[in-house]
C-alpha cells in the first residue's frame, strides 16, 4: 500500500444504483506489478453499500502517481468530503493491522457504524461532477462492494421499472423516482438506465446525466439498439453530428433491432444537418419505405425539400405526413402553408381549419391567424 486517506466528515450522497445517505470516503493508493493505481472508495454508512472509482488511466508509472492522487483528492472534495492523510506506511505494524481489520474499505462485509456527530448534510450527485474517474468495482480487494442481486431484488426492481414506464408521461418526476429505485435494487438493469436517460434528456433537459445513463445502459448491454438510437438523438440535439451518425449506424448494424426505421430516419436527418442533403434524403426515404406510418420521416422529408426550395415535392411529403398522422395538427399547418405558397387558397383554408380543430392551443391560434391572412 502506498497511501491511505480517510474523510473526516460524512456528507449526504445520492450515488446512482445505491441508497442515498451519509457516506465515508477513502482514497487508496496501491503498487502492483504493472505500476501504481489510485482508487476512491465511497462507503454508504446506513446501507453498507459502496461504490469504487478508479482513474481512467487505471495504472500509472511512479512519476504520475502523485498527480493521480491529487485528482482523486479533488474528486472527493468536490463532493463535500474533507480528507485526512492516515500516513499508513509511517504507522507501527500494530496500528496498520488495526486499520486493515476495522476500516470498511478492507472488509468483505463492511459494518454499519453510527453517523458521526456534526457530519455535513450537503448533498451531491456523482453524475454532476464530470471528473475523469469512471465507475469500477474492485472485486478482489473490496469484495464487500460486489453485491449479487437477489431474485427478490430483481423482481422488485422490475416492478418499480414498470411503475416508472406507466407514469412517465403523466408524472415524469415520479417516473424518475421509480427508475432510481429500480436501479438501487438492481444496478445492472439496462432498461432502467435507458429509461432514466430518456427522461433526463427529453423531459428534464439534463443532457450530461442523460449521457451517463445511456452509456451505462450500453455498457451493461452493448447490443441495446434503442439506447444507442437515443444516445444518437442526444448527440443530434447537441449538434455533434458525427457522433450521432456513428450511434445510429451502430444501431442499424443490429439485425435484431425491432424499429430500425427510427434510427434510419434520424440518421438521414443528422446527415442533412451535417450538410449532406442527398444522403440524408436517401436515408429518410428508406425509413418511410420500411414503415409507411413513420410520421417523423415524412415530416423531415417535407422540411428538407421546403428548405431546398422544392415546394411541390415538399407538399407531397407533408400530405403523406398528414395521411400517416391525421390527428397531428402540425401536419395540417405545414400542408396549409405550402398550399398557400402555391396559390391553392381554398385547400390552404381547409387545412388551417383542420389544424384549428386538432392542434394544441398555440398551434390553433397560429392556424387561425394564417387563415385570416388568406381573406374571406
| Of 128, 120, 105, nearest in space to 38 by CA | 105
Most confidently predicted of 12-26, 84-98, 287-301: 287-301
Query: What is this structure's pTM?
Result: 0.62
Residue in 64, 47, 189 with CA at minimum distance from that of residue 104: 47
| pLDDT tier, 46 (very low <50, low <70, confident <90, very high otherwise) | confident
Please give the residue that has the higher pLDDT: either 35 or 215: 215
Q: Higher model confidence: residue 102 or residue 160?
A: 160
Closest CA to 161 of 195, 199, 127: 195
Find, among 339, 349, 354, 342, the residue nearest to 370 by Cα: 349
* CB-based burial, 147-180: b 16+ in 10 Å, e otherwise: beeeeebeebbbebbebbeebbeeebeebbebbb
Alpha-carbon gap, residue 173 to 50, rounded angstroms: 26
What's residue 316's pLDDT?
97
Multiple choice CATH, 292-376, 1.20.120.1200, 1.10.1200.120, 1.25.40.10, 1.10.10.10: 1.25.40.10
74 within 8 A of 47, measured Cβ to Cβ: no
- Predicted confidence at residue 33, as pLDDT, reads 63
- Residues 163-183 have a mean pLDDT of 95
d(CA 176, CA 186): 15
Q: Tell the burial category of 100 from Cβ atoms under 10 Å away from its Cβ (0-12, 13-18, 19+).
A: middle
Provide the residue ranges of all domains of the chain, joining segments of one domain with +: 3-145, 292-376
Residues composing the chain: 376
| 34 three-class SS | coil
Average pLDDT over residues 56-78: 82
For residue 198, the number of C-alpha atoms closer than 13 Å in the C-beta half-sphere is 17
3-state secondary structure 198-234: HHHHHHCCCHHHHHHHHHHHHHHCCCCHHHHHHHHHH
Torsion of CA 14, 88, 83, 111, to 10 degrees: 30
Return left, alpha or beta for 255; rule: phi > 0 is left, psi -120 to 50 is alpha, else beta. alpha
Amino acid at each position: 500500500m502506498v497511501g491511505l486517506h480517510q474523510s473526516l466528515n460524512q456528507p449526504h450522497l445520492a450515488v446512482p444504483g445505491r441508497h442515498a445517505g451519509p457516506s465515508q470516503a477513502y482514497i487508496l493508493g496501491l503498487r502492483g506489478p504493472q505500476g501504481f493505481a489510485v482508487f476512491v472508495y465511497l462507503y454508504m454508512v446506513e446501507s453498507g453499500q459502496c461504490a469504487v472509482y478508479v482513474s481512467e488511466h487505471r495504472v500509472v508509472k511512479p512519476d504520475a502517481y502523485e498527480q493521480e492522487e491529487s485528482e482523486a483528492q479533488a474528486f472527493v472534495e468536490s463532493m463535500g468530503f474533507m480528507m485526512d492523510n492516515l500516513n499508513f506506511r509511517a504507522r507501527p505494524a500494530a496500528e496498520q493491522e488495526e486499520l486493515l481489520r476495522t476500516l470498511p474499505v478492507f472488509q468483505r462485509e463492511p459494518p454499519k457504524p453510527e453517523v458521526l456527530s456534526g457530519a455535513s448534510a450537503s448533498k451531491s450527485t456523482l453524475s454532476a461532477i464530470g471528473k475523469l474517474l469512471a465507475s469500477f468495482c474492485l472485486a478482489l480487494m473490496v469484495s464487500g462492494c460486489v453485491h449479487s442481486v437477489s431474485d427478490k431484488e430483481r423482481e422488485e426492481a422490475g416492478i418499480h421499472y414498470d411503475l416508472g414506464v406507466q407514469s412517465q408521461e403523466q408524472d415524469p418526476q415520479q417516473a424518475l423516482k421509480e427508475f432510481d429505485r429500480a436501479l438501487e435494487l438492481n444496478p445492472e438493469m439496462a432498461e432502467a438506465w435507458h429509461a432514466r436517460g430518456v427522461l433526463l434528456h427529453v423531459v428534464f433537459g439534463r443532457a450530461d446525466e442523460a449521457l451517463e445513463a445511456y452509456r451505462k445502459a450500453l455498457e451493461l448491454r452493448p447490443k441495446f439498439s434503442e439506447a444507442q438510437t437515443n444516445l444518437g438523438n442526444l448527440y443530434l440535439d447537441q449538434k455533434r453530428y458525427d457522433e450521432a451518425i456513428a450511434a445510429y449506424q451502430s444501431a442499424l448494424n443490429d439485425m435484431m433491432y425491432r424499429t430500425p426505421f427510427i434510427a434510419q430516419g434520424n440518421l438521414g436527418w443528422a446527415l442533412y444537418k451535417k450538410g449532406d442533403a442527398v444522403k440524408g434524403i436517401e436515408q429518410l426515404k428508406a425509413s418511410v419505405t420500411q414503415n409507411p406510418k413513420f410520421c417523423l420521416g415524412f415530416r423531415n422529408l417535407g422540411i428538407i425539400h421546403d428548405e431546398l426550395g422544392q415546394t411541390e415535392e415538399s407538399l407531397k411529403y407533408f400530405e403523406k405526413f398528414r395521411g400517416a398522422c391525421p390527428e397531428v395538427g402540425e401536419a395540417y399547418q405545414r400542408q396549409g402553408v405550402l398550399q398557400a405558397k402555391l396559390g391553392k387558397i381554398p385547400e390552404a383554408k381547409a387545412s388551417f381549419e383542420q389544424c384549428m380543430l386538432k392542434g394544441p392551443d398555440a398551434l390553433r391560434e397560429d392556424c387561425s391567424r394564417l387563415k385570416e391572412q388568406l381573406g374571406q
